[in-house]
Amino acid sequence: MSESRRVAIVTGASRGLGAVIADVLATRGYDVVIGGRDSVALEDAAVRLRARGASVQVASGDIVDPATRERLIDGARALGGLDLLVNNASELGPIGPLTAFDVPKLGRLMPVNAGAPLLLMQMAVPLLARRRGLIVNITSDAAVAAYPGWGPYGASKAALELLTRTLATELADRHVSVLLVDPGDMRTRMQQEAFPGEDISDRPLPEITTPFWQWLLDQPTESLRGQRLIAQSEDPRWSRQAS
C-alpha cells in the first residue's frame, strides 16, 4: 500500500452522519477505519466505501469497550498510519425533565459521549502527530443551549467541548489540531428517537453537510485548531466560532 494515501477513523459510521463523512473521505482518496455497534450495517457501509476505491478496516462494537477502541487504532496501523480521527459515535439517552432524570444513567452517557472519545484521542495522538493530523469531535447545539428535556445529553456534549478546547491547546506543540463540528438538526435515527411518533421529515438528511466536509478537507489543519464550526450554516467559511 502506498504510504501517500491518507487514513481516517470514523466512529458511528454505519449510518447517518458518520456514513456520510466516511463516504466523503473515500471519494477524496482516504482509506478508512469505520466503527459502529451494528455489525451488519457496518459491513454494508464497508462494501460501499470499497466500491469508491477505499481500503477499509471494520471495527464493530461499543465505543466504551476498550477492545473496540483497540480495533480502531489497529485498523489505522494496518492502513499505514492516521491523518484524521472523527469522534462521531454518541448516545442520546432519555429525553425528559432533569427533575425526573435517572441520574445513574449518566454513567452511560458520559462514557459514550465524552470519556470514550477522550480515550480514543489519547490512543490516536502518537499516530496523528507523525502526520500533523486532525481530530474532529462532533458536538451539538444542545451543548451550548438549555433545551428542556435534553439536559443530560447536552451536559455530556458540553463536557466533550471543554475537553476538545483544552486538548487543542495542549497538542499545539505536537502539531495535532483538534476542533468541534456542530452538524445541526438532521433526519437521523437518533433524532427520531428524540421525537418518538413525530414526523421529522422537515429535517434535512445528513448529506446536507457534504459541502462542509468537502471544504474542511481542503483546509490547513493548523488554521482550524480550537474552532467550533457549524456544518449547516450559510457558509462564510464555515461560520466558525472561537472555542
**Every domain of the chain and the residues it spans:** 6-242
Query: Which pLDDT value is given to residue 230?
Result: 94
Overall average pLDDT of the 231-239 stretch: 65
In single-letter form, the type of residue at position 107 comes to G
Catalytic residues: 153
What does 63-90 look like in DSSP terms, one character per residue? Answer: TTSHHHHHHHHHHHHHHT--SEEEE---
Residues 6+ apart with CB under 8 A from 2: none
What's the whole-number mean pLDDT along residues 138-145? 95
Query: Residues 181-218: pLDDT tens digits?
Result: 999 886 666 776 666 777 667 778 899 999 999 999 99
The model's pTM: 0.91
Give Cβ neighbours of residue 218 (< 8 Å, ≥ 6 apart). Answer: none
**Residue scoring higher pLDDT (170 or 4):** 170
Task: Give CA–CA dist 121/183, Å, rounded.
Answer: 20
User: Considering the chain, what is the average pLDDT of its residues?
Assistant: 91
The Cα–Cα gap between 230 and 7 comes to 24
Residue 233: pLDDT band (50, 70, 90) is low
* 6-242 classified as CATH 2.40.50.140: no
pLDDT at 122: 98
Q: What is the pLDDT of residue 1?
A: 35
- Which pLDDT tens digit goes with each residue over 110-126? 999 999 999 999 999 99
pLDDT digit string, tens, across residues 122-139: 999 999 999 999 999 999
| Res 83 pLDDT > 80 | yes
